[in-house]
């Protein structure tokens, strides 16, 4: 991989966990849109539910999530009141024949909740929605907060997949990002859940952090592999201090350069595949026995997933729902979210209504991100004559593609082996919403 190639295609672009991306949402979408879109769902939709817990005990310097630090539990407890009210309000708007196939708790740190509140929120979901037998119920946890009583509560509400935040075990890196977390604490958390029958354990890692090197991420990988997680997600750090003020606590001079970031990501991929993991898309790895390695793969705000539900309904401050008609996002500030729930039952402040060829481009981008290939036949069966314009764009892009990132022929669009590290940049070719100055301000490097 030459430095020129990295410079040409390794710049900032969206992660494409949605299309259009959230920075293109507008206030033109209102609570009325959500009510109408819910009413227009089929009589028996498959639903995915997401609960956002926007609190952590302390804020890590690298974090890009919508969360806040709270040493007191009172604000967390108070937040659960509007959250449960929103769940109840939305449940009354969905078709009675629905079935919930996935539930995901994210944050923040959902294990900031007390065992009693974990039970209460879990029972709220089950009392308000028809949760299918065998539904995947996942939770993100900070192992530094976890107690056995909390794990008991998660097990009681049916949690069967747990995502453990690690990022990096190197002490120097941990000090630079404000997250001190030992291997033993992490190993203990994994064992706590395994003894309670959790069938899938995930670990999250980040490369491109301050002071990281290929050697240091290699040491972290050795520790992670020893825990034997079923899935490992590996994200490139997005340094956006203009938008995320706490990232200004990171000394930019200690961040690895583009070539070093790329070397770290490639080393991680090679090590994990040598350890028996199957690479899924650009940044997820799964054991061959895990559902993610053997079935249909989709992409949403949680990354790569087996979740192919008709709609994703998200609850809580800043949460984003995806329906066939478009996206809606709740108020970001907890106070604003609480006020809107208490007065309207919904907290939608912006979103995007799919129009024109949005649905086609969203599907094309998701397939490239998941499978590195999309066929013209598949696109035409789904979208008809709309495909002609996108095919024209793809063929024109291929003629300009001097670096051989894609192959376009009568079969479809395929990202080449050379192009796979830059698939996000390839997807950006098909994103008319994207502008160069917006890219610089809001997105992570593509490698």
pLDDT tens, residue by residue, 243-257: 889 999 999 999 999
198 and 285 in one domain?
Answer: yes
The answer on whether 63 is annotated among ligand-binding residues is: yes
Are 143 and 221 in a shared domain?
A: yes
Alpha-carbon distance of 259 to 105, in angstroms, equals 35
Residue where a domain stops, chosen among 282, 313, 344: 313
CA distances from 322 to 16, 122, 310, 326 (A): 14, 22, 9, 6
294 plus 195 within the same structural domain: yes
User: Is 219 one of the annotated binding-site residues?
Assistant: no
Per-residue pLDDT at 4 exceeds 90: no
- Determine contact, residues 406/368, Cβ cutoff 8 Å: no
Q: Which helix (H) or strand (E) holds 34?
A: helix 31-39
> For residue 1, is it within any domain?
no
341 is in an annotated binding site: no
pTM: 0.94
pLDDT top residue among 315 and 242: 315
345 within domain boundaries: no
For 162-188, write each residue's pLDDT tens digit.
999 999 999 999 999 999 999 999 999
- By three-state DSSP, how is residue 329 classified? strand
The model's confidence at residue 442, banded by pLDDT at 50, 70 and 90, is low
Name the domain count of the chain.
Answer: 2
Nearest to 102 by CA among 309, 289, 290: 309
In a domain, 347, yes or no: no
Q: What phi, psi does 71 have (nearest 5°)?
A: -80, -20
Question: Do 391 and 263 reside in the same domain of the chain?
Answer: no
State percent of the chain over pLDDT 70. 98
Quickly state the pLDDT bin for 65 (edges 50, 70, 90).
Answer: confident
Same domain flag for 288 and 372: no
Does residue 262 sit within a domain?
yes
Q: Per the domain annotation, does 101 fall within a domain? A: yes
CATH number of the domain where residue 297 is located: 3.20.20
Q: Which domain holds residue 107?
A: 41-313
CA–CA dist 274, 443 (Å, integer): 31
412-415/406-408 β-pairing: antiparallel
Do residues 143 and 231 share a domain?
Answer: yes
Question: Given pLDDT bands bounded at 50, 70 and 90, which one contains residue 437?
Answer: very low
Through-space distance between the first and last CA atoms of the chain, rounded to whole angstroms: 12
Annotated binding-site residue? 233: no
Structural element, H or E, at residue 377: helix 376-383
How far from the centroid of its chain's Cα atoms is residue 373's Cα? 21
Residue 9 lies in a domain: no
- Helices 115-128 and 74-91: angle between axes, nearest 10 degrees: 10
Is residue 107 a known part of a binding site?
Answer: yes
Answer yes or no: is pLDDT of 99 > 50. Answer: yes
Residue 60, marked binder: yes
Of 313, 345, 376, which residue is a domain's last? Answer: 313
**Contact by Cβ (8 Å): 313, 48:** yes
Same-domain status, 298 and 366: no
Q: Is residue 334 part of a domain?
A: no
- Say whether pLDDT at 54 is over 60: yes
- pLDDT at residue 439 tops 50: no
Residues 263 and 140 in one domain: yes
Nearest to 434 by CA among 6, 27, 15: 15
Report d(CA 282, CA 302) in Å as an integer.
14
Q: For 61-92, give the secondary structure using H, E and C.
A: CCCCCCCEECCCCHHHHHHHHHHHHHHHHHHC
238 labeled binding residue: yes
Residue 64 counted as an annotated binding residue: yes
- Judge whether residue 67 has pLDDT over 60: yes
What residues contact residue 77 under an 8 Å CB cut-off, 6+ apart? 117
Identify whether 336 is part of a domain: no
Token match 């907890």: residue? 334
Instruction: Give yes or no: residues 376 and 249 share one domain.
Output: no
Q: Determine contact, residues 292/286, Cβ cutoff 8 Å.
A: yes
Q: What value does the mean pLDDT of the chain take?
A: 95
**CATH number, domain with residue 402:** 1.10.10.920
Any binding-site annotation on 191? no
What integer is the mean pLDDT of 219-237?
97
pLDDT tens figures, 205-227:
999 999 999 999 999 999 999 99
204 annotated ligand binder = yes
261 and 366, same domain (yes or no): no
Q: Is the pLDDT of residue 416 over 80?
A: yes
Distance, in Å, from the CA atom of 81 to the CA atom of 78, rounded to the nearest integer, reads 6
Kindly report, residue by residue over 151-164, the tens digit of the pLDDT. 999 999 999 999 99
* Residue 351 assigned as binding residue: no
Same domain, 367 and 285: no
* Whether 147 and 88 share a structural domain: yes
């Amino acid at each position: 991989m030459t430095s020129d190639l990295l410079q040409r295609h390794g710049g900032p672009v969206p992660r494409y966990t949605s299309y259009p991306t959230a920075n293109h949402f507008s206030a033109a979408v209102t609570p009325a849109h959500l009510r109408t879109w819910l009413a227009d769902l089929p009589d028996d939709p498959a639903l995915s539910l997401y609960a956002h817990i926007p609190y952590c005990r302390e804020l890590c310097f690298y974090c890009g999530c919508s969360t806040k630090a709270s040493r007191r539990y009172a604000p967390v407890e108070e937040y659960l009141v509007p959250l449960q009210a929103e769940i109840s309000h939305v449940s009354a708007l969905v078709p009675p024949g629905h079935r919930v196939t996935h539930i995901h708790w994210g944050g923040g740190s959902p294990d900031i909740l007390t065992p009693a509140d974990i039970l209460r929120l879990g029972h709220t979901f089950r009392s308000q929605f028809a949760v299918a037998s065998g539904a995947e119920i996942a939770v993100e946890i900070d192992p530094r907060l976890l107690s056995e009583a909390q794990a008991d509560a998660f097990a009681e509400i049916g949690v069967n997949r747990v995502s453990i935040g690690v990022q990096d075990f190197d002490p120097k890196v941990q000090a630079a990002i404000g997250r001190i977390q030992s291997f033993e604490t992490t190993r203990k958390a994994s064992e706590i859940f395994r003894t309670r029958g959790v069938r899938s354990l995930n670990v999250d890692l980040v490369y491109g952090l301050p002071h990281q090197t290929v050697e240091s991420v290699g040491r972290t990988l050795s520790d992670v592999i020893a825990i034997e997680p079923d899935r490992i997600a590996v994200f490139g750090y997005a340094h956006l201090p203009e938008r995320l003020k706490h990232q200004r606590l990171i000394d930019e001079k200690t961040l690895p350069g583009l070539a070093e970031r790329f070397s770290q990501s490639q080393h991680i991929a090679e090590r994990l595949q040598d350890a028996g993991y199957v690479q899924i898309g650009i940044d997820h790895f799964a054991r061959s026995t895990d559902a993610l390695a053997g079935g249909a793969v989709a992409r949403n705000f949680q990354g790569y997933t087996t979740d192919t539900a008709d709609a994703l309904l998200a609850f809580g401050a800043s949460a984003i729902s995806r329906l066939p008609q478009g996206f809606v996002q709740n108020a970001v500030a907890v106070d604003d979210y609480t006020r809107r729930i208490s007065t309207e039952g919904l907290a939608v402040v912006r979103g995007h209504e799919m129009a024109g060829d949005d649905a086609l481009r969203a599907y094309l981008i998701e397939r490239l991100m998941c499978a590195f290939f999309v066929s013209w036949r598949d696109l035409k069966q789904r979208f008809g004559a709309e495909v002609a314009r996108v095919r024209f764009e793809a063929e024109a892009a291929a003629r300009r593609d001097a670096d051989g990132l894609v192959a376009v022929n009568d079969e479809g669009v395929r990202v080449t082996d050379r192009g796979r590290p830059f698939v996000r940049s390839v997807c950006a070719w098909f994103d008319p919403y994207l502008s160069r100055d917006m890219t610089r301000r809001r997105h992570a490097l593509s490698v």
